[in-house]
Amino acid sequence: MERLQKILANAGVASRRKCEELILSGKVVVNDEVVTTLGVKADPATDVITVNGREITQSDKVYAAFYKPKAVITSMSDPEGRKTVRDFMGGLRTRVYPVGRLDYDTEGLLILTNDGELANKLMHPRHHVEKTYHVTVKGVPHGDNLDKLKKGIKLEDGVTLPAEIEYHDVNVETNTATISITITEGRNRQVRRMFEAIGHSVIRLKRVRFGNITLQGLVRGKHRILTKSEVNELQQSIKTSRRS
């Protein structure tokens, strides 16, 4: 027996949080009985579970890496008709969902899967899974300001955890700098806000690594299926981060 929202997430219905919303809104039925409270358990092997009238089945787990271009919504649908991640997932028979988000104006690596349990762990702040970004900013931050980011800087929603910082390039003609930053949190627009806090607005932002997965071998707008060893390493990175 498992919690209903976990069963739905593992079946690729949606993220764990979205599945909870579906339950609370009365759209989930177990053995002809509408469920509207969280905490209900079911057996996916024997119980008949439907969402919006459609019976769910336990799909094979799929894990993909996607190079999201700018001007693409990290969602499976958009009421405004803008391009979404789903528009680039042609060829996948199983519906997958993004692990976390990248802003509309941010490009780079996204992990997508129908494994709700793994997605939830990768997104949970207690596991401290590393994400690396290449950031191009206006001006050239001094060492003292970068030290603030390394140690943790105060934002409106609290002090950030320590970050790893490395210079990549300084362009004297355009007065810009490109910096690599590795963080272990996933706050809303966190990297942009961190650099704004030291007085340098972000011109371009690209995520190049999520855990052990990188953009290597990917071009904008394309995805690839992760290998079994890559998935195992992702799972191991969660265990390692939790101990540290």
* Rounded Cα–Cα distance for residues 137 and 140 (Å): 7
Judge whether 183 and 163 are in contact, CB under 8 Å.
yes
What is the CB neighbour count within 10 angstroms for residue 9? 25
DSSP state of 62: -
Q: Of the listed 103, 144, 147, 169, which one is catalytic?
A: 103
| 130 burial type by CB count under 10 A (0-12 exposed, 13-18 middle, 19+ buried) | middle
Tokens, residue 79: 């009421």
The answer to whether 32 is a known catalytic residue is no
Q: What is the DSSP string of 86-114?
A: GGG-TT-SS--EESS---TT-EEEEEEES
* Residue-level length of the chain: 244
Judge whether 132 and 186 are in contact, CB under 8 Å.
no
Residues annotated catalytic, as ranges: 103
